[in-house]
Structure 1
Amino acid sequence: MDSEWIPPEVDNQRPSVARVYDFLLGGDHNFASDRDLATGLLRVEPQARELAQANRAFLRRAVRTIAASGVDQFIDIGSGIPTQGNVHEVAQGVNPEARVVYVDNDDVAVAHSRTILAGNDRAAVVQADMRRPREILADEGVTGLIDFTRPVAFLLVAALHLVKPEEDPASIVAALREAGVPGSHLVVSHLTYEAEPGKTAAIGKLYDRATSPAVARSHAEILRFFDGWDLLDPGLVYVPVWRPDGEVDDKPERFLMFGGVGRK
């Protein structure tokens, strides 16, 4: 790994959820501690790489759908480390005028995002914590690119399950809903325990060592994040089933993640 982009303040001894995800997607912006956790994850869930890829594919399909509907502003909260098929690439592929702000609290994710986005004046990255959504919405890096008098797509993909119940994840979504004018969209994918409760409990235990937890929730709990939004068809479903590009896996529940898109 080229160390030039690694910020000096990075704690490489504690696994980062962004860097573990990067490893599962085949990236190289991760450390030994991240790979150790990922290896443990692969023992619990040998298909973890496939799950990460399915979640990423859901993100791309959702962005493409929203951009095709005419929305040209996206805020990707908990965006992680840039990898192939980023939000700005998908959105600007549909509409070259689309604007995208990435938000993450991981130093490596932010540093690498800045490198990737250099020279793209319609995309930016902001370092912030999704648990403080109003700070994100007021950040100059966001307001300099996003016009909140027009529809915005808020992306919380594989993000809200990193928020503990006592940190009130519903309040994050509520703040975004209040900020969005009619025509705005919400994209959520989220770990669920419904198909494999033992497996997701073991994943949660592993993530206790990381920078954020992994809190699996029920379909009903995840559905509540869409209160005040109209769900697009086919609703809140396992991620491979959401408007698939090709054939659907005959056991979509094995992907352990529900995904959905709402419109205000």
Structure 2
Amino acid sequence: MKPPSYAALAVAVLLGPLLATPVKAAALPSVNMEATVKAAQIDPRRADSTLTPGAKASVLLVEQALRDRNLLDAQWVDGYFGTSTIAAYARYQQSLGYTGLDANGLPGRTSLTQLGTGRFTVTAVILPGAEVSVDGFVVNTRTRDMLAEAELLLGRDLVLEQGSYNPGGDPTSAGTHDGGGAADISVQGLTTATRTAAVTALRRVGFAAWLRSPAQGDWPWHIHAVAISDTDLSSEAQHQAGDYYLGLNGLAGRGPDDGPKVAIRTWEEYQRL
């Protein structure tokens, strides 16, 4: 066998490190969970196909994954998390064995991460947290922390009249309290100004909140609050959160928002201020 030439040795010396270096796999794109969940609340309530700002890229990745699982028709892969995408995501959750609130069409961390296996990573994760008791009513830890922060802003305690995870508990609530993130708050003994201040504080920390009057329905005066982007929201509460973004009052008639004007933020966005 002939010994290698000096030229061949030189090439080997130059290329050796390159050949020995493993090729890195391309980084996966990411789905921003906050933006995706926000779109899933707002888009189904729109009268047009306006996209939720900042959500298109993430929603497209989710829709493409649903399409490839034959759960969403290709015509709906458009970056708009409308009713067809909600229904497809709910079917995906059901395919994982989820039922009830866990198959409400809102992307939760576990299902979204599983959908993205090999396709995308999940960032800006939202967690409702465990169920806890506040004033004798059940809420999750995210809602509890939001209520506590609103109390700090208001400078007084808020007293709950109804909490979350209360299916069928109050027929006048039309299902909004069946899931997480919902609370009714007493206004007994509060002045008109304090009632408005309470709604303002709740809105500032990330609730879609309204002062409800007997003239609007079969209920006493109270404040109704829905924690925006709580992934345990019932379908009815999802609709209320979406309507709040669209300047509506969260009632069946979808009238104009009658509450104090506050910059709309989620709890996570408020914490980053």
* TM-score (norm. length: structure 1): 0.28
RCO higher in structure (CA 8 A, sep ≥6): 1
* TM-score (norm. length: structure 2): 0.27
